[in-house]
Amino acid sequence: MAAGTQESPLLALAAGAARNKGEYVKPFTPEKAKGIIMSLQQPAVFCNMVSDWPSRHWTAAHLSEVLHGKQIRFRMGMKNTDTVPQFETTCNYVEATLEEFLTWNCDQSSISGPFRDYDHSKFWAYADYKYFVNLFEDNSDVFQDVLWSDFGFPGRDGQESTLWIGSLGAHTPCHLDTYGCNLVFQVQGRKEWHLFPPEDTPFLYPTRIPYEESSVFSKTNVVNPDLKCFPRFQKARRHMVTLSPGQVLFVPRHWWHYVESIDPVTVSINSWIELEEDHLARVEEAVTRMVVCALKTSEDPHSTRAWLNPTEVEATSHEVNCRYLNGAVSAFFDHHRTPKAVEIQALKTNRENVEKKELNVSSHMEVAQTHNQDLSLAPGKQDAVSLFGPDLFPVTPGPKEEHPSERGGIFEKDGKELVDKDGEYFAKSCCARRQQMSKSENVVEQTASNSTPGLSQAFISTDDLLDCLVNPQVTRMVAQLLIQGKSL
Ligand SMILES: O=C(O)CCC(=O)C(=O)O
């Protein structure tokens, strides 16, 4: 049993008695669920945890009534099987109501309305990444319909959640999320999840273009890979699961995922749970942003749209990026007060990229592989696996398997920049996608705007950053990666 998941005998007795009376009892207490989430290093599906959540009734038809007439932005994609991923930068967008979406989706002969230019047999539509706080700004009561407190996160509800409504074929290209781990509640229809462990990153051909602060995309279309261009992808260990209504998928930190709607209408709700490692990740992202913005802006100063994901607010200036970096570093130090803690955290989170001894790219890949003998649990938490059963099943490598799913079957199938008092700029959040996600991200902003000195006296200067970026170890690794990338 994982640390922190031990159930008290009294609770177990009470649960047994309730079950005997035919009452609905969740298979895991909040403490136990949280213990699993914090120790499991493999994706897994929780069943029978959300049957009493009011949001289980949130079909697209129901939501269209709740949102009566609200305009939503839909991403439009092709139902083709190209080998090139459909990044958000290459998609078209349509502003429409949910009602108009449902009409287009059901009445395939409809030739009017905002979707009129999109032949239903060729296109899918996806209202993805919709923050509750934006979508339900006039109706915040609905936040309480989502109860992540049942998973051990008290107070977390719709306010920290995102909604996804799609048609058949709607998908999100393969990416990893930089921050947190993820809980995903499938409400309507089914979605197919293709997951790959963080250790397989070299086989996924990561790219920072399109640039997005909170995601790293794969160049590979994982459902139709071009193996001539991306031969290492063959080594990636795909884990697959079909998520059905009523199930909650746990996606551990830095697992790659491609997600596709396989029913005519799908609705899901997710929440990214902040983790300790996010503090250092935020510094890494600030460095990445600075490098990407500097190089891409000088390559083509007029067209940020070509490389910036539409979920990002805008390309930010060097000054703003510098402030963001300083904010992230200050927040890191605020969190890890002692130098020892800083050292441990930095080394721990570095494991995916930098080997301490020799920065050899190919040996790095092998090390990544051997690290991965036991993907399932954090060290010292080996026995959480005993919790697998009908209410929690692991997502395992290889083709998807049928799993016992819903008991009872009650679910339907079917930067902007801010000007501060002194007139100086600070990016509100360099991350549009996650701007409501993380309370700790606000800490970065506040720390940056309250305590970051002027650029000239910045704690981390441009030269400090350059000293690190052109460190011989780093440039050697970059050189090796460049050569390796061109020699395959
Ligand atoms: O459902 C999707 O299309 C993508 C979901 C996703 O990427 C996430 O929850 O992190």
The CB of 184 under 6 Å from ligand 1? The reply is: yes
> How do residues 255-264 score in pLDDT, each as one tens digit?
999 999 999 9
> How do residues 357-391 score in pLDDT, each as one tens digit?
333 334 333 333 433 334 455 544 545 668 899 99
**What per-residue confidence (pLDDT) applies to 13?**
61
Residue 172 Cα to ligand 1 midpoint, Å, equals 6
- Of 123-137, 391-405, 431-445, 457-471, the range with the lowest mean pLDDT is 431-445
The CB of 177 under 6 Å from ligand 1? The reply is: yes
- The pLDDT of 90-113, averaged and rounded, is 91
- The pLDDT of 434-462, averaged and rounded, is 52
Q: What percent of the chain has pLDDT over 90?
A: 62
Asked if 189 and 81 sit in the same domain, the reply is: yes
Instruction: Give the mean pLDDT of the chain.
Output: 81
Asked if 226 and 115 sit in the same domain, the reply is: yes
Asked if 346 and 479 sit in the same domain, the reply is: yes
The CB of 285 under 6 Å from ligand 1? The reply is: no
The CB of 259 under 6 Å from ligand 1? The reply is: yes
Asked if 260 and 153 sit in the same domain, the reply is: yes
Residue 15 lies inside a defined structural domain of this protein = no
The CB of 179 under 6 Å from ligand 1? The reply is: no
Ligand 1: residue of 181, 257, 261, 273 to mutate (most ligand atoms within 8 A of CB) is 257
The CB of 124 under 6 Å from ligand 1? The reply is: no
Residue 445 lies inside a defined structural domain of this protein = yes
Residue 410 lies inside a defined structural domain of this protein = no
Q: Token pair for residue 262? A: 């396989």
Asked if 340 and 447 sit in the same domain, the reply is: yes
Asked if 305 and 257 sit in the same domain, the reply is: no
Domain limits for position 323: 278-369+415-487
- Mapping DSSP onto H, E and C, the string for the chain reads CCCCCCCCHHHHHHHHHHHHCCCCCCCCCHHHHHHHHHHECCCEEECCCCCCCHHHHCCHHHHHHHCCCCCEEEEEEECCCCCCCCCHHHCEEEEECHHHHHHHHHCCCCCCCCCCCCCCCCEEEEEEEEEHHHHCCCCHHHHHHCCHHHHCCCCCCHHHCEEEEEECCCEEEEEEECCCEEEEEEEECCEEEEEECHHHHHHCCEECCCECCCEEEECCCCCCCCCCCCHHHHHCCCEEEEECCCCEEEECCCCEEEEEECCCEEEEEEEEECCCCHHHHHHHHHHHHHHHHHHHHHHCCCCHHHCECCCCCCCCCHHHHHHHHHHHHHHHHHHCCCHHHHHHHHHHHHHHCCCCCCCCHHHHHHHHHHCCCCCCECCCCHHHHHHCECCEEECCEECCCCCCCCCCCCCCCCCCEEECCCCCEEECCCCCCCCCCCHHHHHHHHHHHHHCCCHHHCCCCHHHHHHHHCCHHHHHHHHHHHHHHHHC
Strand partners, 272: 182
The CB of 270 under 6 Å from ligand 1? The reply is: yes
- Of 58-72, 345-359, 361-375, 464-478, the range with the lowest mean pLDDT is 361-375
Greatest mean pLDDT among 167-171, 447-451, 468-472:
167-171
Asked if 264 and 285 sit in the same domain, the reply is: no
The CB of 162 under 6 Å from ligand 1? The reply is: no
- The pLDDT of 133-161, averaged and rounded, is 97
> How do residues 9-44 score in pLDDT, each as one tens digit?
555 566 666 666 667 799 999 999 999 999 999 999
Asked if 353 and 470 sit in the same domain, the reply is: yes
Residue 402 lies inside a defined structural domain of this protein = no
Q: Whose CA is nearest to atom 5 of ligand 1?
A: 259
Last residue of a domain, one of 271, 292, 312: 271
Residue 339 lies inside a defined structural domain of this protein = yes
The C-alpha atoms of residue 286 and residue 284 are separated, in whole angstroms, by 5
Ligand 1: residue of 91, 172, 311, 438 to mutate (most ligand atoms within 8 A of CB) is 172
The CB of 221 under 6 Å from ligand 1? The reply is: no
- Whether 301 shows a pLDDT value over 80: the answer reads yes
Atom of ligand 1 nearest to the CA of 191: 1
Atom of ligand 1 nearest to the CA of 164: 1
**What per-residue confidence (pLDDT) applies to 304?**
77
- Whether 329 shows a pLDDT value over 90: the answer reads yes
- Whether 458 shows a pLDDT value over 70: the answer reads no
Return the CATH number at 194.
2.60.120.650
The letter for the amino acid at 238 is: R
10 vs 269, higher pLDDT: 269
Residue 449 Cα to ligand 1 midpoint, Å, equals 31
The CB of 174 under 6 Å from ligand 1? The reply is: no
Asked if 238 and 294 sit in the same domain, the reply is: no
- Whether 102 shows a pLDDT value over 80: the answer reads yes
Residue 300 lies inside a defined structural domain of this protein = yes
78 vs 354, higher pLDDT: 78
160 φψ region: left (φ > 0), alpha (ψ -120 to 50), beta (else) = alpha
Most distant CA atoms of the chain, gap in Å: 69
Residue 241 Cα to ligand 1 midpoint, Å, equals 13
Asked if 203 and 284 sit in the same domain, the reply is: no
Contact partners, residue 475, CB within 8 Å, separation at least 6: none
The letter for the amino acid at 43 is: P
The CB of 268 under 6 Å from ligand 1? The reply is: yes
Q: Token pair for residue 158? A: 């719709």
The CB of 55 under 6 Å from ligand 1? The reply is: no
Q: Whose CA is nearest to atom 1 of ligand 1?
A: 259
Please state the domain count of the chain.
2
Residue 21 lies inside a defined structural domain of this protein = no
Atom of ligand 1 nearest to the CA of 257: 7
Atom of ligand 1 nearest to the CA of 260: 3
348 vs 116, higher pLDDT: 116
Last residue of a domain, one of 254, 271, 288: 271
Ligand 1: residue of 260, 270, 273 to mutate (most ligand atoms within 8 A of CB) is 270
The C-alpha atoms of residue 261 and residue 166 are separated, in whole angstroms, by 7
Asked if 96 and 128 sit in the same domain, the reply is: yes
Residue 407 lies inside a defined structural domain of this protein = no
- Whether 129 shows a pLDDT value over 70: the answer reads yes
Ligand 1: residue of 75, 129, 181, 182 to mutate (most ligand atoms within 8 A of CB) is 182
Last residue of a domain, one of 243, 271, 299: 271
Asked if 265 and 284 sit in the same domain, the reply is: no
Residue 381 Cα to ligand 1 midpoint, Å, equals 27
